[in-house]
Structures are given as C-alpha cells and as structure tokens.
Structure 1
C-alpha cells in the first residue's frame, strides 16, 4: 500500500526526540484570513469539490501537481495551470498534529490560503492509530460520535475516582502486578488517561488549500489507504467568540452560537470504518489502551494555543497524560527495540522516497512490505518485548485499585 498512515512519522519520530528546533519564519506569518462566506457556502452545493466523490483519488491521480519525492518537509513543485484550475480549492478539516504550524506548514510544506476555527458535532477525537512502541505508541484520529459516549463518560468517572486512590510513589512492584479487573464485566480494566473525557463537539481548524496541497495532505497521511476521507458538517466560531466562553453542546441546534454551517473534507480513523480494500490491519486489540507521546501531544497543544482554541478544550488537551518510560527495564527494552527495528524501518523510508511516483505514492508491493514489517514489529513487541521489558504503550505506574479487583 502506498505510504501507510504515519509510516514516515513513525520512523522520523526516532530522530526528532530531543532535537532542538529553531523558530522558522513561517511562525511570524501564521495568521491567515478567514474564508469568504461565499466560499464556505459554496461547499454545500452538489457540484462543489467538498461533495465530490472519491476526491483523494482524483486529485492524486491528476496532473495538477508534482512531487520531487515525499520527504518530510519538502515543498512539492507545482506545475503551472490555467487560471480556472488554479482557483480551485478544497476545504480540509485538521484536528491533530496538523493544528501545529510547525507540522502543517513546516514539515509538510502546506501553504493554506485561509482558515477558520470550527465545531464538528458529528466527530470526536481519538488516539487509536498505532505508532511505534516505547517511542510513539499512538497517533490521533477521529471517529463518528455514537451511543458509546455514555460508556466513555462512565469510564471517565471511574478514572477520576481511581485517581484519588493512586499513590504514584507506591513501593509496589507494578511491573509484576497482575491486571486489574472490573468486577461487573470480568474484563481487564483499561484507563483512558483522560483521552476520552471530552464529550462535546470536536474542535478543529478548516484550511482552504489548493488541489495540489490537498493531494500532498493525502499522500503524507497514507495516500488514501490509511485514513478514510469523509465529508463532515462544520460550524464556524461566531464573530463574538471568546476563548473563555463554554463550548456549545449542540452547535447544530443553537444557531445563536455559530455562523451558518458548511462542508469540509477530513480523515477518519481506520478503526471507525470497514472496507474490504483496506489491507491495513495493525489496529490494536484495545484501540483506547495506548497513550500518545509527550512530543506528539505537545504538537496538538501548541496548535490549539496558536489557533486560540477555547480554554475548556485546551484544558482537556493539557489533562491528557502522555506515555513515559518509568523503569530501567523499559529503557533497556527501548534500546534493544530500536536497535532491532530502526534499520529496516529507515530502509523502507528511503525506498519509499526513491520509488515514489509524481504523486508521492509508492509501489503497491512496497506497501505490502511495509505492512509486513510493521506487523512483525508489533508482533515482536506483544510476544517478547512487553513481557520481558515492560509496557511500551502505557506508563507503568498509572495504575488503579478503587472499584476493581486484582486477578490472581
């Protein structure tokens, strides 16, 4: 499969950690104009690009753009097009690391024309896309909001009660402690580490981008095979917006808090959809188990601050606890894991760049090799590294005892 979701980011995360970054010039120009009302409303018309079927395939197979290779941070070289084609733009909803100027406009080289902050009632933020154990356990995605929200709220209430009884300085050998079991369901309890505490609409930013840049977004996010492109309804922040104002529970019902809605493309987690053509099968048994890294969380939090998101939402992001290595065994395991898997991963990244076509898409056979390597990597973690060196997805030490029994 051409460029599986976040494959390059998984590998590049090895080298980004601890790297000192300078403040690039694009930060000084981070403010963009708001899309015109006419442009937003045009997205609701049947003939708009926002409602076009299979837009990712169309733009990545068209000749409206050209990539010199999909290297992280490289800017694609665009071919000169007739004026009417140059004026075509797409509205794209970002919600994760693409909120960050450093990521979206820096590493990925996207040059949006305008932007607007929005509420998206039909989506919720998730962290269910597998990354690399011990380094980047998971990445952000979205799913449609369903009736499982009530279950998430119940889990959040349990976790809050649990937090009052957890002693992080406990001398208990938690690496050897058995799993905690829910008395009612007889299943291993998994905390969400505050990831699922947000039960209001997803908050994101909609960028207006050219067709060439939209094709690049699709290429860097899995070339249309990892995430699923969907069209969602977005509600712009009102003109009277203040960060300290509460986020509306139902912006689709309370039209006094938002401007007229419009349509935008976004990327849905593979966990939230089923497609026979989707061969990517690295989803974890419990997608809610892993914690994102501090580096990755910082990109999202920084982006939310740059975009002046609601204080309430930023507080939620700040409350998410990142994955941390807390034991010597984990540190040793991390070193052994990187020594074993870093070379083949980097070889695949190099091959993907060298063999990429004009759209930044790798040959299908290389995608299958990437699949096989990632499956083997996670299999080695599940069968060996986790048992010997400790957890590479969740922080050891954030355990709970209140309301649960210990399996003997």
Structure 2
C-alpha cells in the first residue's frame, strides 16, 4: 500500500461526525457541479484539483445491470507507478486525479448520507497534492477523505453513457487537465445494442428499481445524524445487491444478453 494511504472502517473515529471542516475527494460523478453541489445543496468552502499517488480510477463498482452497470471506484495501485507530467497522456495507472472539496461538518454528513450511509463504501484517508491550472504539482499536500467500494465486479464492464457524461462534463467544469479529460473521453461506456438487452432493461427497471429507490431513501433518513446507516440496513443492502447480481449472472444474462458490457 502506498505510503500515507489508510483504509478505515466506516465506524472509525476519523469518520465520526466532525466538528471542523474536512477535505472530501470527488473522483466519479462527484466531479459534476450540478450532480454534486446543486442537487445536494452543498456549498464548498474551497475546491482544489488534486492528484493522489498510490490510488487509481476503476469502473468496478456494481450498480444495476442494463441500467447503470458500473460506477466509478478507486483502488490501491500496483507498484511501480510513474509520476504523470503535464503534456503526457494520462494513463489512468498509478495515480488518481479528482477534486478536493473543503466541506462544513453539515455538508460532509450530507455526502455520507447520500452515498448510502456506509452501506457499500469504505473510507480512505490519503495525501493529496494540489495542482496548478496547467496540471503541474505544487508543494501543497493535505489529507483528504474519499470512499471506495471493496465489493467489486470483476471482468469487463462499463459505466452508462449518462454516468460518463457526468464525469466528462464535471472534469471540464472543474478545469481539470486536458490530458485527464481526453482519458475520460476515450473511456468506453455501456450501450444497449440488441432487442433482448432492451427487454432486460425494462425487466430490471420494473423488478428492481422501485424497491432500490425506496431502500436508499430509508437509508438516507436513518443515517441523517451520523452519516452511518444501522447494521440491519447494511446487511439488507448486501442481500439485495447480492441477489440482484447473482440472478443476473445465473439467469438474466443468458436470457437478455450482456447487461454490463456492450455486445
């Protein structure tokens, strides 16, 4: 594990209800100003484009087949890793680029609630290096808290086009380096290409989406004070997603076609 990167339990004192502002790192859809700030009514005290060595972006966070198959995740990078320099292509290996938001205690808890109240994510504390407007590293290094999903989908799978547009537009809104934007533009997205997949999408919308939407609203309400959902809700979340993806792997995939990688 890279020096300075700490994997924490969601119940760790470092994640408990804060009394002072905290730096939170957005690297997925939280790059989007509309999705992250406007919809959640969040006003950061400060924002900085940063890079974290030792973590890297992955699209292995399971969502819902045929609809939102994968979400962004971060994972520990395998050494050795070369330091990226402005002007060179962003490889996506060895380092994670994102936006650090300095959040008030109330806004910080809003993020934890909206991310499922600890039902699917594990917190990480890592040292972030602030970047200049052209992507050069500065001498400013500070700790950020971010979230990653330890339960992942292996094999080929893509995020939806809707989700990738959030990342791409967010990167442009945040004036992130052009090399990183080009990397996101070149990242493939999931697309339905057959009639069977269209039927699979309708089946999953009808069968899974109403219950999942209600479930996450209940989690947000029950984690309002601490940002942490009760243990029974965490167990229920694992059962729900385990059942959904288990039936997809054993049944729906063979009936409706691939629901996470375009065929």
Same fold (TM over 0.5): yes
Match of 2:248 among 358, 381, 399: 381
- Is structure 2 residue 149 aligned with structure 1 residue 270? yes
Question: C-alpha offsets along residues 145-180 of structure 1, whole Å, 9 cap, x if unaligned?
Answer: 213879xxxxxxxxxxxxxxxxxxxxxxxxxxxxxx
For 1:259, what is the secondary structure of its paired residue? strand
- Is structure 2 residue 108 aligned with structure 1 residue 221? no
Partner of 1:126: 58
Mapping 1:1-400, distance limit 5 Å: 57-58=12-13, 62=17, 88-147=20-79, 197-199=91-93, 201-238=95-132, 241-242=133-134, 257-271=136-150, 281=151, 283-284=152-153, 286=154, 288-353=155-220, 355-359=222-226, 361-396=228-263
Query: 1:393 & 1:369 partners in 2: Cα distance?
Result: 23
* TM-score normalized by the length of structure 2: 0.83
Query: 1:337 & 1:224 partners in 2: Cα distance?
Result: 24
Contact 1:60 1:359 in 2 (8 A): no
Decide whether aligned partners of structure 1 residues 312 and 61 sit closer, same or farther in structure 2, where only a CA change above 3 A counts.
closer
Contact 1:232 1:264 in 2 (8 A): yes
For 1:359, what is the secondary structure of its paired residue? coil
Deviating beyond 6 angstroms after TM superposition, the runs of 4 or more aligned structure 1 residues are 53-56
**Structure with the greater alpha carbon radius of gyration:** 1
Decide whether aligned partners of structure 1 residues 361 and 120 sit closer, same or farther in structure 2, where only a CA change above 3 A counts.
closer
Q: RMSD over aligned Cα, in angstroms?
A: 2.8
Question: C-alpha offsets along residues 333-381 of structure 1, whole Å, 9 cap, x if unaligned?
Answer: 2112222223332342344355455335443223322221211111111
Decide whether aligned partners of structure 1 residues 366 and 324 sit closer, same or farther in structure 2, where only a CA change above 3 A counts.
same
Q: For structure 2, which runs of at least 5 residues remain unmatched after alignment?
A: 1-5, 83-89
Contact 2:127 2:142 in 1 (8 A): yes
Partner of 1:179: none
Partner of 1:178: none
Q: For structure 1, which runs of at least 5 residues remain unmatched after alignment?
A: 1-50, 65-84, 151-195, 248-256, 272-280, 397-408
More strand by share: 2
Query: 1:114 & 1:296 partners in 2: Cα distance?
Result: 25
